[in-house]
């Protein structure tokens, strides 16, 4: 991904109607899922916190300086 300078951005899709959501879901299944299954796209894990330190995890997210996922294993 870095070689191609690709950026992935998330969306809640709240403002989209059902048909738009259906089309997006089909495109994800067709174009993105195969890459995930093959291991071509892997999430970046910035930090992992135990459940007992969930307040620290929230603080980390609130700073907005993290790059990647903040993980709370269950």
Q: What is the pLDDT of residue 1?
A: 46
pLDDT one-digit tens code per residue, 14-39: 889 999 999 999 999 999 899 989 99
Query: What CA–CA distance (Å, rounded) separates 40 from 32?
Result: 10
Query: What CA–CA distance (Å, rounded) separates 29 from 51?
Result: 32
Q: What is the dihedral of CA 61, 73, 24, 30, to 10 degrees?
A: 130
Q: Contact, 66 vs 60, CB < 8 A?
A: yes
Q: Is the pLDDT of residue 12 over 80?
A: no
Rounded to the nearest integer, the mean pLDDT of the chain is 88
Q: How far is CA 15 from CA 2, 24, 29, in A?
A: 30, 13, 21
Q: What is the pLDDT of residue 13?
A: 81
């Amino acid at each position: 991904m870095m070689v191609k300078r690709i950026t992935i951005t998330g969306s809640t899709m709240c403002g989209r109607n059902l048909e738009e959501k259906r089309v997006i879901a089909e495109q994800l299944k067709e174009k993105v899922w195969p890459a995930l299954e093959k291991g071509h796209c892997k999430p970046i894990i910035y930090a992992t916190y135990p459940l007992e330190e969930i307040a620290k995890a929230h603080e980390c997210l609130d700073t907005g300086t993290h790059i990647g996922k903040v993980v709370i294993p269950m």
